[in-house]
Amino acid sequence: MPEVLHGTGVSPGVAAGPVRTMSGAVPEPPAGRRDTGDTAAERARALAALDTVGADLEERGARAGGEARDVLAAQAMMARDPGLAGVVTDRIDEGLSAPRAVYEAFNTFRAALARAGEYMAARVADLDDIRDRAVAVLLGVAAPGVPDSDEPFVLVARDLAPADTALLDPAKVLAFVTRDGGPTSHTAILARAMGVPAVVACGDCMDLGDGTMVLVDGTSGEVRPDPTEQELAAAQAEAEARAAVLGAGAGPGATADGHRVPLLANIGGPKDIEAALSCGAEGVGLFRTEFLFLGRTTAPSEEEQESVYRAVLEAFPSVVVRTLDAGADKPLGFLPPPDDEPNPALGERGLRLFHTHPGVLTGQLRALARAAEGLDVRLQVMAPMVTDAEETRSFVAACRAAGLSRAGVMIEIPAAALRAGDLAAEADFFSLGTNDLAQYAFAADRQISGLARFQDPWQPALLDLVALAAGAAGAAGKDCGVCGEAAADPALGCVLTGLGVTSLSMSARALPGVRAALAAHTLDQCRKAAEAARRATDADGARTAARAELPGLDPLGL
C-alpha cells in the first residue's frame, strides 16, 4: 500500500477515521447440481437464509424509521414470501445447491415482474437486492450496500448510487473515498451537502482494508493510511484555521464595490434547511425534488408532496424548485425511462420524461402551487434538461395553468445555451446547470471517473457557453443564476459574476468561501478575471489566469 493515495478532492475539509468498505456485487452461485445429497439440510439452510434477510431488513427499517421503514418492511415480506420459499425448495429437490436454488427462484419471479407492466417492473431492483442479500448469507460473503457500524467511519466504495446513500446515517460518515466518480458525481454532491470531506477517482482505495485508520483531505485529494499523531494534529490545526477565516463574514453576497450577487443554497429536502440557514443562504437556488423520492416505487401523492414543499417554502424568503429530474444518474423507480435506451443520459430524462408521464408533472406543479398558498415566499419553478424554445413554452404554459407565476428553465444542454435568446423570450429566468452542461458540451459522461478532466468547470468552452446564456438573459432583462457545482468554487464564483451571472447557488457549506471571495474583489476585477479565463486554452490555464486577476484569494486561503 503506498504511503499516500491520490484522487480528486471534491468536498473540502479533513477527517480521520477507520475505513468501512461498501461491498461490491455478490457473485452468481455456480450452476449445476450440488455435490452433497443432503436435501433436507440444504432446504433448511436456504429457508434460514431467507428468514435472516427478512429479519435484517425489518431491523434496519425500524432503525431508519419514516419512509424507509415502509420500504424495508415491504422488502422483508418479499424475502419471507411462502410462494418464493416453495420455488426454492422445489429447486433444491431437483438437485440444486441452496445458493443456486435461491438465485434461480428469485430470477423466476424477476422475469415475471419485469413483464408485468411499469409499476411491477420498478420492483425488480428490490427483488435483486433481496436475492443478493440471501445469496451473500449462503455464500458467507459480505452483504451488498452500505456497511453497518456502531462507530463513525470513512466510507470507501467503488462509487455511490443515490439509492445506496438514502439510508446513510450522516452522523456516522466522517468522509467519503470512492474509486470512481468525478467532481459532479452523486458522491461529490452528497458529500458537499453533508459538509464532509470527499475524494473521488482514488484508484487504489478499494485495497484499503476494513478498519485501517485513514486521514482524508478533501481539498488536496490525498488519502493517507495509518497517519502519525503529528500528521493528525497538523491536519486538525489547518482545518480550524480555515474555519476561522470562513466563519468571519456573513450577510448578503456582494462584490467589494457593492454589486449584489445573491448567495443561495442547493438542497435535497427539508433535512438540508438547517445547514443552509446556518451558512447564511439568502434563499434556495436549487431544490432537487427527486432526492425526496429516491427508492420509491410509486409516485408520491400530491398531499405528501405539498407537505414537504411547504416545509421548505416556510423556511426561506425565496425558493427555486426544480421539477423531478429522473433518469440517467438519478433513476426514480416510479418514472422509468423506456428499457431499450442504449444511452440513458441522451434519452428520456428530466423534462423529456414528462412526455411519457405527463400526469406526474401536472401533479407536482399543483402540489407546489398549493404549498405556497398563503405564504410570503417568492416561489420560482424550473424544469431540468430543457432543449429549445418549444419545450420552454410548453413548460411555462403548464406552470401558468397550475397558477405558478414564475417559471424558468435550466440551461444544461449546449443547444439551449447557443439559442438562449429564443428561450429567454419564453422563460422568466434561467439557471445554469454547469454539471450537465459540461457533460453534454464535452460528450463526457459525468459518472465516468476517467473523463473527470472534462467535468472541470474551468474549461474555457464551458465558460463560453455560460457567457452566451448570461448575455442573452441580460439582454432580455431576465435573471440568470448558476446552480451547478461551478458556483461552489470561490474563484470561479467571481468569474461567473464577471460573465454576467446574477446569483450563485451551491451546497450550504461552500457559501462562506464564495461570500468571502466576492467581498474581496470589485465587479471590474471579476470581469477582468472572466476575460482572462476565456482567453486561456485549457482549464488549468483559465484557473491560473483568473486567479492572477483576483489577488484577494490567496490571503484568505481560498
Residues annotated catalytic, as ranges: 186, 483
- Classify each residue of 68-79 as buried b or exposed e, where b means 16 or more C-beta atoms within 10 Å of its C-beta: beebbeebbebb
Return the one option of ligand PEP, Mg ion, none that residue 54 interacts with (CB less than 5 to 8 A, by type): none
Going by C-beta distance under 8 Å and a sequence separation of 6 or more, which residues neighbour residue 127? Answer: 78, 106, 109, 110, 113
The verdict on 436 binding Mg ion (CB under 5 A) reads yes
**CB-side neighbour CA atoms (13 Å) of 329:** 18
269 dihedral zone (left: phi>0; alpha: psi -120 to 50; beta)? left
Of the candidate spans 5-13, 153-161, 433-441, 488-496, the one that interacts with ligand PEP by CB under 6 A turns out to be: 433-441
The verdict on 433 binding Mg ion (CB under 5 A) reads yes
Q: Per residue, what are the HEC states of 169-201?
A: CCCCEEEEEECCCCCCCHHHHHHHHHCCCEEEC
Select 189 or 545, whichever has its Cβ closest to Mg ion.
189
Return the one option of ligand PEP, Mg ion, none that residue 399 interacts with (CB less than 5 to 8 A, by type): none
Contact status, residue 156 vs residue 21, Cβ threshold 8 Å:
yes
Strands (E), 365-502: 378-383, 407-411, 429-432, 479-482
Among 133, 179, 288, 349, binds ligand PEP (CB under 6 A): 288
Question: Of residues 56-115, which lie at the interface with ligand PEP (CB under 6 A)?
Answer: none
Select 189 or 371, whichever has its Cβ closest to ligand PEP.
189
Question: Of residues 394-423, which lie at the interface with ligand PEP (CB under 6 A)?
Answer: 412
The verdict on 436 binding ligand PEP (CB under 6 A) reads yes
Return the one option of ligand PEP, Mg ion, none that residue 483 interacts with (CB less than 5 to 8 A, by type): ligand PEP
With H, G, I as helix, E, B as strand and everything else as coil, classify residue 164.
helix
With H, G, I as helix, E, B as strand and everything else as coil, classify residue 226.
coil
Return the one option of ligand PEP, Mg ion, none that residue 549 interacts with (CB less than 5 to 8 A, by type): none
Cβ 185 to ligand PEP shortest distance, Å: 9
The verdict on 433 binding ligand PEP (CB under 6 A) reads yes
195 dihedral zone (left: phi>0; alpha: psi -120 to 50; beta)? left
Select 156 or 361, whichever has its Cβ closest to ligand PEP.
361
- Sheet with 198-200: strands ordered across: 5-6, 222-225, 213-217, 14-21, 153-157, 173-178, 198-200, 8-11
Cβ 500 to ligand PEP shortest distance, Å: 18
**Residue 519 burial (CB count, 10 A):** 15
Select 130 or 320, whichever has its Cβ closest to ligand PEP.
320
Among 165, 387, 434, 507, binds ligand PEP (CB under 6 A): 434
Cβ 288 to Mg ion shortest distance, Å: 9
Select 434 or 497, whichever has its Cβ closest to ligand PEP.
434
Cβ 325 to Mg ion shortest distance, Å: 6
The verdict on 187 binding ligand PEP (CB under 6 A) reads no
Backbone angles phi, psi at 434, to 5 degrees: -70, -20
Return the one option of ligand PEP, Mg ion, none that residue 11 interacts with (CB less than 5 to 8 A, by type): none
Cβ 327 to ligand PEP shortest distance, Å: 10
Cβ 407 to ligand PEP shortest distance, Å: 18
Q: List the grid coordinates of 443.
A: 460528450
With H, G, I as helix, E, B as strand and everything else as coil, classify residue 114.
helix
Of the candidate spans 22-30, 111-119, 435-443, 540-548, the one that interacts with Mg ion by CB under 5 A turns out to be: 435-443
Return the one option of ligand PEP, Mg ion, none that residue 484 interacts with (CB less than 5 to 8 A, by type): ligand PEP
DSSP 307-364: HHHHHHHTT-SEEEEEPP--BTTB--TTSPPPTT-S-GGGSS-GGGHHHH-HHHHHHH
Cβ 269 to ligand PEP shortest distance, Å: 13
Amino acid identity for residue 88 in this structure = V
The verdict on 483 binding ligand PEP (CB under 6 A) reads yes
Cβ 426 to Mg ion shortest distance, Å: 20
Backbone angles phi, psi at 210, to 5 degrees: -60, 135
Between CA 261 and CA 530 the distance in angstroms is 16
User: Number of residues in contact with Mg ion, rule: CB under 5 A?
Assistant: 3
Between CA 301 and CA 138 the distance in angstroms is 39
Binding site for Mg ion (CB under 5 A): 412, 433, 436
Binding site for ligand PEP (CB under 6 A): 184, 286, 288, 325, 412, 433-436, 483-484
